[in-house]
């Protein structure tokens, strides 16, 4: 099955239109929050999606107290016995960059030039930042105006799923089994499945939360979090000799001993890393947060041993210093959970090929809701959403990627029918 031109044009228009609306709705999540969802603004997009799903005539539409949105699309006639599948995307955007008052800009018919941002003249986007831009020449490129991220992670996924739902309603020849959609809050802060209702999900799901067109991700990082508290002793600096234990100064020295070649700035592909992303405090108390990432759990175990050893060394070196270190497992490499279910992967591979793209099987240098769902017993590969340079003000997406991802959704549904 190939998607005919009329449907392709419809998907392009529909995905871009919806995407430009969704990115303007502020949904930044918060790691410090203890509420569900972590920020109330995520409920605004959830409420809008609930209204749109009801307008489309879907069944069992729910926007629950935790911010999750669920809906069911009944199977096409004579397709009631086909295995139901779900498509999932997340509502929130990363707190790594400003996500409020996003002003998307379409750079039409990109020809390889450096892209400028009106809200920040010092900011630019070029093939040096993202070599993939060369393959997008001739396409429309969507960016923010330069003072915020764009929000393609993961409002592109939402727009693609919603456009597919519209296409199923508009074009009866697009057959499918029962489809469940789920939009989750707080994926960016590691809580995307914390309150999810597993009873609403079928045996197999797909997240649309990947990057470049053609990507299919069936492996992700093994992920740990390390939280530190350095407890020192503050003394007047004029009389501090042999008395003060400067917590934040000592913490700075501590983290300077983490191997620089094992940080995100110096790693790629299957290389793991330490990532210190927060350090604050005073001479009395300092707190820090670090993540450990690798495709091999044994490598993260090695890093944890190093941190424990460094902690002991510093407590001996600075008498009176106390370092509390808390390690917690965030998520596992999902490959072990997907390997027993090759068909769920093959359907996605075939769909990507059918829309005219090369399948790019890569490991996610991060994680998705799919990793956690796979660990919960629901195999969930991750399909490209099309965005690039996520979590930054240089984030962008080719409009064509929005269309292609929506096509993949339609064809995956058809592929399941063939079983």
Task: Give the residue numbers marked as catalytic.
Answer: 92, 187
The phi, psi pair for 226, rounded to 5°, reads: -120, 125
Q: How far is CA 212 from the centre of its chain?
A: 13
Burial of 273 (0-12, 13-18, 19+ CB in 10 A): buried
Burial of 222 (0-12, 13-18, 19+ CB in 10 A): buried
380, 205 Cβ separation under 8 angstroms: yes
**Which residues are CB-contacts of 237 (< 8 A; sequence separation ≥ 6)?**
244
In whole angstroms, give the CA distance from residue 366 to residue 90. 15
388, 381, 331, 336: which is closest to 359 by C-alpha?
A: 381
3-class secondary structure, 396: strand
**Which residues are CB-contacts of 413 (< 8 A; sequence separation ≥ 6)?**
85, 164, 168, 174, 175, 176, 177, 179
381, 342, 386: which is closest to 364 by C-alpha?
A: 381
Structure tokens belonging to residue 375: 């660990």
Cis peptide before 154 (omega within 30 of 0): yes
Structure tokens belonging to residue 169: 């309603």
In Å, how far are 97, 403, 407 from 11, measured between CA atoms?
A: 29, 5, 8
Q: What angle do CA 321, 325, 329 make, to 5 degrees?
A: 175
184, 196 Cβ separation under 8 angstroms: yes
Question: Computed from CA positions of residues 154, 157, 163, 165, in that sequence, does the dihedral angle turn out positive or negative?
Answer: negative
In whole angstroms, give the CA distance from residue 223 to residue 364. 11
270, 262, 268: which is closest to 306 by C-alpha?
A: 262
């Amino acid at each position: 099955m190939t998607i005919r031109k009329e449907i392709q044009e419809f998907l392009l228009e529909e995905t871009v239109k919806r995407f430009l609306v969704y990115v303007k709705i502020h949904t930044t999540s918060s790691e410090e929050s203890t509420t569900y969802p972590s920020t109330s603004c995520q409920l605004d997009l959830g409420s809008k999606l609930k209204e749109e799903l009801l307008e489309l005539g879907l069944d069992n539409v729910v926007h629950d107290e935790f911010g999750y949105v669920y809906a069911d699309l009944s199977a096409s006639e004579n397709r009631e016995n086909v295995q139901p599948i779900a498509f999932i995307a997340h509502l929130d955007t990363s707190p790594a960059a400003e996500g409020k008052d996003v002003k998307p800009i379409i750079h039409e018919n990109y020809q390889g030039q450096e892209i400028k941002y009106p809200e920040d003249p010092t900011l630019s986007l070029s093939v040096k930042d993202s070599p993939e831009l060369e393959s997008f020449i001739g396409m429309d490129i969507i960016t923010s105006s330069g003072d915020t991220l764009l929000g393609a992670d993961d409002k592109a996924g939402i727009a693609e799923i919603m456009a597919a739902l519209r296409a199923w309603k508009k074009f009866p020849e697009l057959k499918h089994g029962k489809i469940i959609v789920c939009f989750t809050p707080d994926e960016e802060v590691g809580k995307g499945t914390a309150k999810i209702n597993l009873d609403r999900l079928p045996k197999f799901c797909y997240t649309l939360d990947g990057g470049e067109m053609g990507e299919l991700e069936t492996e992700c990082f093994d992920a740990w979090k390390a939280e530190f508290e350095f407890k020192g002793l503050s003394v007047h600096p004029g009389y501090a000799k042999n008395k003060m234990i400067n917590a934040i100064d000592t913490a700075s020295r501590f983290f300077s001993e983490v191997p620089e070649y094992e940080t995100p700035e110096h790693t790629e592909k299957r290389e793991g890393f330490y990532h210190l992303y927060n350090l604050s405090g005073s001479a009395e108390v300092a707190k820090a947060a670090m993540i450990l990432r690798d495709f091999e759990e044994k490598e993260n175990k090695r890093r944890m041993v190093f941190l424990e050893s460094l902690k002991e060394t510093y407590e001996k070196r600075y008498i009176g210093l106390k370092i509390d270190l808390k390690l917690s497992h965030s998520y596992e490499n999902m490959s072990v959970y997907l390997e027993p279910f090759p068909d769920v992967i093959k359907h996605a591979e075939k769909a990507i090929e059918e829309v005219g793209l090369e399948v790019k099987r890569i490991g996610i240098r991060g994680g998705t809701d799919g990793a956690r769902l796979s660990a919960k017993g629901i195999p969930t590969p991750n399909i490209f959403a099309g965005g690039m340079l996520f979590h930054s003000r240089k984030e962008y997406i080719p409009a064509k990627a929005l269309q292609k991802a929506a096509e993949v959704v339609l064809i995956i549904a058809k592929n399941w029918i063939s079983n």
